[in-house]
Amino acid sequence: MSDTTTPRGDWPLYEVFVRGKRGLNHVHVGSLHAADDRMALTHARDLYTRRNEGVSIWVVRSDLITASTREERDPFFDPSADKVYRHPTFYDIPDDVPHI
Amino acid sequence: MSDDHVYLSLAQGPDAGADEGDARWAFGTGFEDPLHGVDTAVPAGLDTAALAARCLALADDALVSAQRLTEWTTRAPELEEEVALANIALDLLGQARLLYARCGQTDGTGRGEDAYAYFRDAADFRNVRLAELPNGDFAFTIVRLLVLSSWRLAELQRLTASPDPVLAAVAAKGIKELAYHRQYAAEWALRLGDGTEESHRRMRAALDAVAPYLDELFAACDVREEVTAVLAQVTEAAGLPPLEGAALPGAGREGTHTAHLAPLLAELQSVARAHPEAAW
Amino acid sequence: MTTTESGAPPAPGGTGPADLQERFEATIARDQRVEPRDWMPDGYRRTLIRQIAQHAHSEIIGMQPEAAWITRAPSLRRKAILLAKVQDEAGHGLYLYSAAETLGVDRAELNDRLLEGRQKYSSIFNYPTLTFADVGVIGWFVDGAAICNQVPLCRSSYGPYARAMVRVCKEESFHQRQGYELLRTMTRGTKAQREMVQDAVNRWWWPSLMMFGPPDENSPNSAQSMAWKIKRHSNDELRQRFVDMTVPQAEALGVTLPDPELRWNEERGRYDFGTPDFDELVRVIKGEGPCNAERMERRRTAHEEGAWVREAAAAHAAKQASRSKRGMAA
C-alpha cells in the first residue's frame, strides 16, 4: 500500500464495474483515481452514473486484480473451444417432442 | 460506409450492436419528472404568502450555493472532484428552479423562474449569508457544504410533510440529493481534518470562518439540535474542534447581506439584464 | 485495465518477435480489437498514448472556454445545460485518461507532459469566447467537428480507446444539439442576438475547419495510423464531411458561413470550400494562439493549488491503512 503515500499525493487507480439495471451483470466501465475505497465509490457514482446508468457499483484497486497473461491465453482458452457437446444445439431433438 | 450518419453509425460496427451494446455499456435510460403526478393546484386554506416566502428563501439558498459551486469549474483540486462538485451544483440548481416556479404560482405574480433569478436585486434575495460568502479554499468549501447540506436536509425532511403537495414533492426529491451532498462533505472533512498538518490547519480556519453564520441558519429553521449533533460527530471523527463562535448579527432571510452578494448577482445577471427582451 | 500479471511461467512456443508481430498484424487485418495485455509494436503503443493523451487533454482544456460563461448563463435552464455539458467534458477527459493508462502510462505523467508543453491539445481551445452566442457555436461547430472525428474512432483498433469513444459519442450528441438549439432560439430573438450569432459563426468557422489538422499531404503520421486502424479516415476526408454536414444546418439557421468559395459541386456531390489558414494553425499549435498561455496557466494553477488536498487525502488513506493493520495485529 506504500504507493498511496507518494509525496506528490497521487491517488491509486481503481477499476469500476456498474450494474446497469436489475437482472444484468456488473460490467467494467473504466477506471478512475481515488485516495481510498470510499472515495473511489463516490467518484464512480459521480463519473459513471451521471445519466441514470446504475443500480449498483463495484470498485477495486487495479493492482489487486490478478489477470491471466497473454502467454496463458492458448492453454487457458483453446482447450474449451472443441467441446461442442457443451452447447445445446449439438443435440438433435425431433420437432414434435415438447418442452425440450 | 457505416459512419456516414453520425448517430446511426453508433449502433453499427462489428461489436457494437444496438441492444447488446446498451446492456453492455450500462447506458442511462429514462428520466423522472420530480413533479410527475403531483397536483399543482394550491390547496384551499393555505397561507400562500408564507408558502411563497418559504419557497423563495429555499430557492435563493440553492441558487446562490449552486453559483458558488460552479465557480470551482476548471479550478477543482482533482479532475474527479470537478465532476462531483458539478453534480452537487446541478442538484441545487434543479431545486432552485422548482422552488422559484412554485413561488410564482403562489405569490400571485405568476412570474417564471428566471424573473426571480435574474431580475431581483441583492436586497430582495432571502438566502442565508453563509451561502453567498466567496469560495475560499477547498477546506472552506467543504465546511460550508457540510453545514448547509446538513441544515437544508433537516429542513427538507420536515417539509416532506408540508400541506403543499408541490413543496412536499420537491422536498422528497431534495432529501436524497442532500443526503449525498452531506456525505460527500463529511467524508472530505474527515480526510482533510485527519490528513496533513496543512489540511488540518486549513480546516480549523474554515470552521472559524463559518461559525459566526451558524445562528442565522437556526433562526431561519429551528433544527439546531439535530444539525449540531451531526456536525459534532463529523468534527470529532476528523480530530477537529466543534463549530463555535460568536454569532454575527443580522440575517439574509430579512434581506441583510454581506458585500459579497451584489457582485455575485451582477455576474449571474449580466447577460440576462443586458438583453431584457431576449429569449434564450 | 491495469492489473497484476499472474506469476505463471510463459507458455512454450509461438512467442518469438516474428510470431508476435504476425499475430498483431493478423488481429488488425481481421478488424479485431487489440487489447491492453496483447503484444503490440512500440510505435503503435507510442502513437496511441500520444493520440489518446492529446484527446484527453483537449477535453480538459476544452472545458475552459465554455466554463467562462456558466456563471453568466442568461437563464437557469441554460445554466444547467452548460454546467452539465462542461462536466461531461471533465468526464470524457477521465474516460480517455483511463484508456491511456491501460497502455502503461499514468495520468500524473500525462498531466506533467501537458503542463510542460510536451503534449498538445486541440488548437480550437486557444480561441476566446466573447459572447454567449459562442457557447452555441462551440456546441454546433466544435462538437460537430468532434463528432465527425470521433465516431470513426469508435471502431479504432485499440479496444479501450474504441470503448471510451463509444461512451463519449453517445454522450456528446447532446452537446451538439444543445448548441444548435440555443442558436435557433437566439436567431429568432432580438436583432442584437442575431448579430451575436453571426459574429460568433464568423469567428469560429475557420478555426473549426483547422481542428481536423493539416492537409493530408502535410500529415506525416496519418498513413501509419490509418494502417494500424488507430485512425480510420484522413484529415481532409473528415473536414469535407464536416462541411457537407454543416452547410445545410447553417441554411436552416439563416446564418452565413464566412467562405466566399463555398458552393455545391454537382459533379463531386459535395461542397467545395476555401482553404483554412494552415499557417495560423501551426502558430496556434506552437503556443502562439490568443489564449494558449491563459489556458495552461489556469490548468497549472488548479493542479498546484489542489496539491495540498490530494496530499491530505493520500495521507489520511495511509493513516487509515496503518490503523486497520494495527487493529488486526492487536
Minimum-distance CB partner of B138 among C72, C75, C309: C309
Minimum-distance CB partner of B195 among C74, C192, C312: C312
Put simply, the answer to whether C155 touches B14 (Cβ < 8 Å) is: yes
User: If you average pLDDT over residues C308-312, what whole number do you get?
Assistant: 97
Put simply, the answer to whether A8 touches C39 (Cβ < 8 Å) is: no
Q: Tell the residue number behind the cell numbers 496503518, with chain if given.
A: C322
Distance (Å) from the C-alpha of residue C76 to the closest C-alpha of chain B?
A: 6
Touching subunits of C (3+ CB pairs, under 8 Å) are A, B
Q: Give the pLDDT of residue C221.
A: 74
For chain C, the structural domain boundaries read 28-276, 290-329
Put simply, the answer to whether A53 touches B87 (Cβ < 8 Å) is: no
Q: Which of B72, B80, B138, B194 to mutate to probe the A interface, most A CBs <10 Å?
A: B80
Q: Is C130 on the interface with B (CB under 8 A)?
A: no
Q: How far apart are CA C181 and CA C197, in angstroms?
A: 12
Residue B213 CA from chain centroid, whole number: 17
Q: How far apart are CA C60 and CA C299, in angstroms?
A: 9
Q: List the one residue out of A32, C211, C113, A7 whose CA is nearest residue B196.
A: A7
Q: How far apart are CA C180 and CA C186, in angstroms?
A: 10
Touching subunits of B (3+ CB pairs, under 8 Å) are A, C
User: If you average pLDDT over residues A30-57, what whole number do you get?
Assistant: 90
Minimum-distance CB partner of A9 among C15, C94, C311: C311
pLDDT above 90 covers a percentage of chain C that reads: 77
Closest residue of C to A61, CA-based? C3
Put simply, the answer to whether B25 touches C166 (Cβ < 8 Å) is: yes
Residue C91 CA from chain centroid, whole number: 12
Q: How far apart are CA C155 and CA B2, in angstroms?
A: 10
Q: Is A13 on the interface with B (CB under 8 A)?
A: no
Q: List the one residue out of B30, B31, B36, B28 whose CA is nearest residue B172.
A: B36
- Give the confidence band of A5 by pLDDT, cuts at 50, 70, 90: very low
Burial C158-190 (b: 16+ CB within 10 A, else e): bbbbbbbbbbbbbbbebbbebbbebbbbbbebe
Mean pLDDT, chain B cut into blocks of 10 residues (280 residues total): 41 41 54 78 91 97 98 97 96 97 94 96 97 98 98 97 96 96 97 97 98 93 92 97 91 96 98 95
Restricting to C residues 40-99, those with a Cβ less than 8 Å away from any Cβ of B are 60, 63-64, 67, 69-80, 83-84, 86-87, 90-91, 93-94, 97
Pick the CATH number of C28-276 from 1.10.3720.10, 1.10.8.50, 1.20.1260.10, 1.10.1370.30: 1.20.1260.10
| pLDDT tens profile C158-183 | 999 999 999 898 888 889 889 999 99
Q: Is A34 on the interface with B (CB under 8 A)?
A: yes
- Give the confidence band of C330 by pLDDT, cuts at 50, 70, 90: low
DSSP state string for C91-153: HHHHHHHHHHHTTT--HHHHHHHHHTTSS---GGGGS---STHHHHHIIIIIHHHHHHHHGGG
Between C37 and C291, where is the model more confident?
C291
Minimum-distance CB partner of C306 among B76, B83, B198: B76
Put simply, the answer to whether B27 touches A53 (Cβ < 8 Å) is: yes
Using DSSP's 3-state secondary structure scheme, residue A14 falls into: strand
Q: Which of the listed ranges A5-9, A18-22, B160-164, C323-327 does the model predict with the highest average pLDDT?
A: B160-164
Q: Count CB neighbours of C72 within 10 A.
A: 19
Tally of residues, chain B? 280
Asked if residue A77 has pLDDT above 90, the reply is: no
Q: Give the pLDDT of residue B17.
A: 40
Minimum-distance CB partner of B77 among C64, C73, C309: C309
Put simply, the answer to whether B80 touches A50 (Cβ < 8 Å) is: no
Alpha helices in B194-260 (DSSP H): 197-210, 214-220, 224-237
Q: How far apart are CA B93 and CA B60, in angstroms?
A: 10
Q: Looking at the DSSP assignment, which residues form a beta bridge with residue A32? A: A14
Asked if residue C254 has pLDDT above 60, the reply is: yes
Minimum-distance CB partner of A34 among B24, B27, B80: B80
Put simply, the answer to whether B70 touches C148 (Cβ < 8 Å) is: no
Distance (Å) from the C-alpha of residue B157 to the closest C-alpha of chain C?
A: 25
pLDDT above 70 covers a percentage of chain C that reads: 95
Helix axes of C159-187 and C191-210: crossing angle, nearest 10 degrees: 150
Put simply, the answer to whether A43 touches B83 (Cβ < 8 Å) is: yes
Put simply, the answer to whether C313 touches A33 (Cβ < 8 Å) is: no
Q: Give the pLDDT of residue B102.
A: 96
Asked whether C169 and C151 are in contact (CB, 8 A), the reply is: yes
User: If you average pLDDT over residues C60-64, what whole number do you get?
Assistant: 97
Q: List the one residue out of C133, C139, C145, C141 whose CA is nearest residue C69.
A: C133
Touching subunits of A (3+ CB pairs, under 8 Å) are B, C
Closest residue of C to A69, CA-based? C5
| pLDDT tens profile A78-88 | 777 777 778 77
The overall average pLDDT reported for chain A is 82
Q: What are B's interface residues with A at a Cβ cutoff of 8 A?
A: 23-31, 78, 80, 83-84, 87, 183-184, 187, 191
Q: Is A20 on the interface with B (CB under 8 A)?
A: yes
Q: How far apart are CA A40 and CA A33, in angstroms?
A: 7
Q: How far apart are CA B48 and CA B41, in angstroms?
A: 12
Q: List the one residue out of C119, C131, C276, C288 whose CA is nearest residue C208.
A: C276
Minimum-distance CB partner of A9 among C38, C107, C307: C307
Q: Is C108 on the interface with B (CB under 8 A)?
A: no
Q: Looking at the DSSP assignment, which residues form a beta bridge with residue A60? A: A15
Pick the CATH number of B47-274 from 1.20.120.530, 1.20.120.1200, 3.40.50.720, 1.20.1260.10: 1.20.1260.10
Provide the terminal-to-terminal Cα distance of chain C, rounded to the nearest Å. 36
Put simply, the answer to whether A1 touches C318 (Cβ < 8 Å) is: yes
The CATH architecture annotation of domain A8-90 reads Roll (3.10)
Q: Give the pLDDT of residue C4.
A: 61
pTM of the full structure:
0.90
Distance (Å) from the C-alpha of residue A14 to the closest C-alpha of chain C?
A: 9
Residues of A in contact with B181 (CB under 8 A): none
Minimum-distance CB partner of A32 among B25, B30, B80: B80
Put simply, the answer to whether C84 touches B96 (Cβ < 8 Å) is: no
Residues of A in contact with B87 (CB under 8 A): 46, 50
For chain B, the structural domain boundaries read 47-274
Residue A82 CA from chain centroid, whole number: 26
Q: Give the pLDDT of residue C19.
A: 87
Using DSSP's 3-state secondary structure scheme, residue B221 falls into: coil
Q: Give the pLDDT of residue B15.
A: 42
Q: Is A31 on the interface with B (CB under 8 A)?
A: no
Put simply, the answer to whether B187 touches A43 (Cβ < 8 Å) is: no
Asked if residue C79 has pLDDT above 90, the reply is: yes
Q: Give the pLDDT of residue C8.
A: 53
Closest residue of C to B139, CA-based? C309
Asked whether C245 and B3 are in contact (CB, 8 A), the reply is: no
Residues of A in contact with C84 (CB under 8 A): 50
| pLDDT tens profile C282-303 | 999 888 999 999 999 999 999 9
Residues of A in contact with B26 (CB under 8 A): 18-20, 24, 27, 29, 48, 53-54
Minimum-distance CB partner of C316 among B100, B191, B268: B191
For chain A, the structural domain boundaries read 8-90
Distance (Å) from the C-alpha of residue B173 to the closest C-alpha of chain A?
A: 15
Q: Which of A14, A25, A38, A39 to mutate to probe the B interface, most B CBs <10 Å?
A: A39
Q: Give the pLDDT of residue B11.
A: 37
Q: Give the pLDDT of residue B7.
A: 42
Minimum-distance CB partner of C74 among B79, B94, B271: B271
Residue type, B242: P
DSSP class of A26 = E
